[in-house]
Structure 1
Amino acid sequence: MNKFLLSVHVLAAIIFVGPVTVAASMFPPLARRALASDQPETGVLKVLHRISRGYAVGGLTVPVFGIAVAAGLGVLTDYWLIVSMVLTALAAALLAFVVLPAQGRVLAAADGSREVRDGVLPQAKVLSMTTGIFALLWAVVVVLMVVRPGSTTGV
């Protein structure tokens, strides 16, 4: 059963976390360009925001199956897993409470006047850093999952 749960966990990470990380990272430079333009094109931004939202919801399956695998392996109290879970929670909170709302504000302002767009431009610049931190958190979690300090595999 653990092999099945692990397979679903890894597939969900690849299918959901990868695309949301890429879409969220692509959004800020395109948003800055759109906000600075005299005739902003928001079609791609809307798609990237929809991907970010939708895949974020699907990404909830990753920790659910991860915890099931960890419970089956008896490693729920290992420090590397606890650190991974905390970093995963931080990444999820960053996405839900910072990245997605900022994307929404940029999209709402992109159709507004020049003054409205100029007012949101600093947020679009900060969004680059925020999505970079989001991606970095996931990279650290992946490394912890692969390296697993104290692993019994001997790798």
Structure 2
Amino acid sequence: MTKILLSLHVLAAIVAIGPVTVAASMFPPAARRTVPTGVGTVALLHRICRVYAGVGLTVPVLGLATAAAMGVLGSGWLVTSIGLTAAAAGVLAAFVLPRQEEILEQLRGEQAPDHRATVQLAMFTGIFNLLWATVTVLMVVRPGSTTGA
């Protein structure tokens, strides 16, 4: 059962988190290049981020189930990963998605997006991506693991 849970956890991370990181990274430059009447690409990138963020909720759920099955819930690397995952989710929910919506509304109102807002969005997106990269490294390296990996 552990191998199935781990496989589903990794698959969910690839399928759900990957599109969010890519679409969120593409959003700020796409918004800067968009003329106010051509918001289709920017709207699609925002929708990808929103939808896959919801699908991404399966990643920590499957991760916790896997950790419980492996008996590693108290491991430091896992506790750290859980904290970083919560931080990444918080950055996405509190800073990335709302700023994307604001920029999208500016574009739909036929206004050029505020350059400062796109720069801040790029910064928060970078923080989100860095948090996920750190979690990924912790999942692979697992300090203190007895598996020798």
TM-score (norm 1): 0.92
Q: Which residue of structure 1 lines up, in the alignment, with residue 136 of structure 2?
A: 142
Which 4+ runs in 1 deviate beyond 4 A? none
Q: Which residue of structure 2 lines up, in the alignment, with residue 73 of structure 1?
A: 70
User: Deviation digits for residues 87-126 of structure 1, max 9, x if unmatched?
Assistant: 0000011111110010000000013254xx35x3311111
Query: Any residues of structure 2 matched to 1:39-118 within 5 Å, and which?
Result: 39-112=36-109, 114=111, 117=112
Q: Which residue of structure 2 lines up, in the alignment, with residue 154 of structure 1?
A: 148
Question: Structure 1, unaligned stretches of length 5 or more?
Answer: none
1:10 aligns with 2:10: yes
CA distance in structure 2 between the partners assigned to 1:6 and 1:137 by the alignment = 20
Q: How many residue pairs were aligned?
A: 149
Question: Structure 2, unaligned stretches of length 5 or more?
Answer: none
TM-score (norm 2): 0.95
SS at match of 2:145: coil
Q: Which residue of structure 2 lines up, in the alignment, with residue 128 of structure 1?
A: 122
Q: Percent identity, aligned pairs only?
A: 58
